[in-house]
Amino acid sequence: MAPDGSQMVGIQPSDVADLPPSAKLVAKTLEYEGSLTQSQLAESTRLSARTVRSAVVELEKRGIVSSTISFRDARKRIHSLDRNASETE
């Protein structure tokens, strides 16, 4: 359950079982902290920007993460968990 009392939809271990540790860390960070840019993910995880980008690409391929363009700065993308990914059975 989320701090605000709402039900959290989390990442299932089977969703990320065969991913590299960096991708698992990025997915868990997005699960706990919500939507973040690549630079915010790099800062939060202490991974390099390149490693974060590779992890995000892999997570996007699997439908775990989705990205949208930032309205504040069109050069940046906001990454977030795709809530529908963990609901599929």
Identify which of 27, 43, 22, 36 has the alpha carbon closest to the alpha carbon of residue 70: 36
Rounded to two decimals, the pTM is 0.80
C-alpha torsion angle, residues 40, 42, 43, 46 (rounded to 10): 160
Of 11 and 89, more confident: 11
C-alpha torsion angle, residues 24, 30, 33, 34 (rounded to 10): -170
- Per-residue pLDDT tens over the stretch 48-66: 999 999 999 999 999 999 9
pLDDT confidence of residue 9: 58
- Per-residue pLDDT tens over the stretch 64-83: 999 999 999 999 999 999 86
pLDDT confidence of residue 39: 95
| Domains annotated on the chain, with CATH | 19-84 (1.10.10.10)
